[in-house]
Amino acid sequence: MKVTTKELGNIINITPRHIYNLEKSQVFSKEDKDVWVLEKVIPAYIKYKTEGGEGTNLAKSREKKEKYEAELKRLEYLKRMGQLIPIEGVAKELEDIAITVSNKLYSIPPKLKSRYQLDSKIESIIIKEIEDVLKELKDPSIYDKQAQEIAKKIELEKTLQKEMSEDESRATSSNNQGQDDK
């Protein structure tokens, strides 16, 4: 059955402008000027709506948003249960541990000297080895590298969150535009 653009719009409940946009994006094709074949257009429109038309972007964005919100809720739950610790707390704990380890290591040479009557030369060798290990542990490049990796992960999460918000905004505006065309 052949119909005009206006008739086609009334049948599938969209504006002529939207019909021409769908033709431009090669969803529809005209038989002739202002002549459409319903047997071709209707299946094409159904396929468009179900396989990637305007409605699916909104659905995908909502799905991404729901996954992100679920992950945030999971992290909040873990934090409340004490299974997730803020980075500041971890840094303070590590600093306290490092000080304790350093003090314990420096207490070893005098104990060994008094217990085994070690020569001063051997004591100084042990102290030097302890200092070398502590210097290695204090090397900021190791921690800078780890901090940079953490910062990259945080930046990636922010970027993903921003993209999800933009996708949802585009999908919402696209969906609203599609409804305006009706």
124 vs 93: CA distance, rounded Å = 30
180: pLDDT confidence band, cut at 50, 70 and 90?
Answer: low
**Residue span of the structural domain in which 151 resides:** 140-170
- 177 found inside a domain: no
pLDDT tens for 121-168 read: 999 999 999 998 888 777 777 777 777 888 888 888 888 888 888 877
Would you say residue 55 has pLDDT above 70? no
Whether 69 and 113 share a structural domain: no
pTM exceeding 0.75:
no
Is residue 60 within 8 A of residue 164, CB to CB? The reply is no
Which of 41, 67, 84 terminates a domain? The answer is 84
Burial 28-51 (b: 16+ CB within 10 A, else e): bebeeeeebbeeebbeebeebeee
What proportion of the chain, given as a percentage, has pLDDT over 90?
A: 24
Q: Which residue has the tokens 């803020």?
A: 86
Whether 30 and 75 share a structural domain: no
Whether 105 and 126 share a structural domain: yes
pLDDT tens for 3-16 read: 999 999 999 989 99
Nearest to 38 by CA among 16, 5, 67, 62: 5
74: pLDDT confidence band, cut at 50, 70 and 90?
Answer: confident
Whether 73 and 115 share a structural domain: no
- Number of domains into which the chain is organized: 4
- 179 found inside a domain: no
Which residues, 6+ apart, have CB-to-CB distance to 3 below 8 Å? 11, 35, 36, 38
Tokens representing 115? 């217990």
